[in-house]
Structure 1
């Protein structure tokens, strides 16, 4: 039996938990016959290493991070969990950057009331890992041509420009309105920080959305091929 372990950050926010549960249900719907297990890197249980250890005896295990960018959790927590089982477990890249995520962000902004003259800031949680900022900038580059304007980035924590500072810079550059695109997967602490950063328009977090589940499935299938080319999924 091949197992997809959907590994998210974890949150104490009930709306955030519900959003992730819905996303995982969508993944299950797209992968009938594949076991989909849930795991976390923080806040909630079970921890990803525990789930990998439990599932790997039944067959190949592919951990798909339900995280938008590379960072400490992908490079340390998840990587360490699969490293104990070479040839039997692997981890895929994070969900972003991805063209489908750019579509989702675009649609969230449009629904929130984006106008043609608005400055746009892609607001991410942030990380101490510089790779996360690279991924967010790559995501902004995918989003920019869809919106027909420049997209700057801001972070709620970690290295890089704070979201509120990015908002002030946009206003200083002459923009009357600033739209913030929440580049977080689900409601929770970072979504609240983004909502309170001073934007005139704040698009909500991204999940649940079937397109995000499709990215997770794409990552899973690529992981299966890396791990066991003869395993079909």
Structure 2
């Protein structure tokens, strides 16, 4: 039986963001295990919407896992995707994860930042408390991955502190600041981060091939958990 991974991103009105997501989908298709199809889906903004993709996939197979191409837990993972899945397994968000920390550290170093600069881990933000926990864990993982200076968390919306405030605080302490863009692709939030006043700003994570390791790990774990639940009921 065909297995399906529904890779569900947020969706964006920015063409350059859509290009990045589709490039990541290409990476996933190139690295997919034999017999596994990768289907494109979005939770907001534009089609193909995840509810429609789920309905179409269910006509062909019952072996379906939704993997959010989202960096932290939040309303979309806890509510929207649960509603759309209608009982299908949903993998956790991509972060926090050591591979993401490696990518973020590489992006920060590519800016030419000093080893002791303050890194502001700049996330989109969410009204869900679990998102803040996830981002704070990512800050810890960045330190473990090689950032020597302070790593502080900040948000573009919904959560505190906001990115310009975190930048101001770091600068008041006499440290240059680097905004580490903790977003997947260019779009609204990447522009907010770029305009937050940091001395340097890293590029978004993008379609880094290393992300495939995280996605397939999430897929395999969620699929195995569902299989275990089925056996327990059986």
Q: CA deviation at 1:229?
A: 5.2
Counterpart-to-counterpart distance in 1, 2:3 and 2:228:
12
Residues 126-141 of structure 1 correspond to what in structure 2 (within 5 A)? Answer: 126-141=125-140
Give yes or no for contact 1:66–1:95 (8 Å, CA) kept in 2: yes
Give yes or no for contact 2:68–2:94 (8 Å, CA) kept in 1: yes
Confirm or deny that 1:203 pairs with 2:202. yes
Q: CA deviation at 1:161?
A: 0.5
For residue 33 of structure 1, the aligned residue among 32, 35, 47 is 35
TM-score (norm 2): 0.93
TM-score (norm 1): 0.93
For residue 43 of structure 1, the aligned residue among 38, 42, 45 is 45
Structure-1 residue corresponding to 2:232: none
Gap regions ≥5 residues in structure 2: 230-234
SS at structure 2 position matched to 1:147:
coil
Give yes or no for contact 2:119–2:152 (8 Å, CA) kept in 1: yes
Counterpart-to-counterpart distance in 1, 2:51 and 2:63:
15
Give yes or no for contact 2:117–2:150 (8 Å, CA) kept in 1: no
| Root mean square deviation of aligned Cα | 1.5
Residues 72-221 of structure 1 correspond to what in structure 2 (within 5 A)? Answer: 72-82=75-85, 84=86, 86=87, 89-145=88-144, 146-175=146-175, 177-221=176-220
Gap regions ≥5 residues in structure 1: none
Q: Give the ranges of 4+ consecutive aligned residues of structure 1 lying more than 4 Å apart after TM superposition.
A: none
SS at structure 2 position matched to 1:186:
coil
Counterpart-to-counterpart distance in 2, 1:74 and 1:191:
21
Give yes or no for contact 1:133–1:160 (8 Å, CA) kept in 2: no
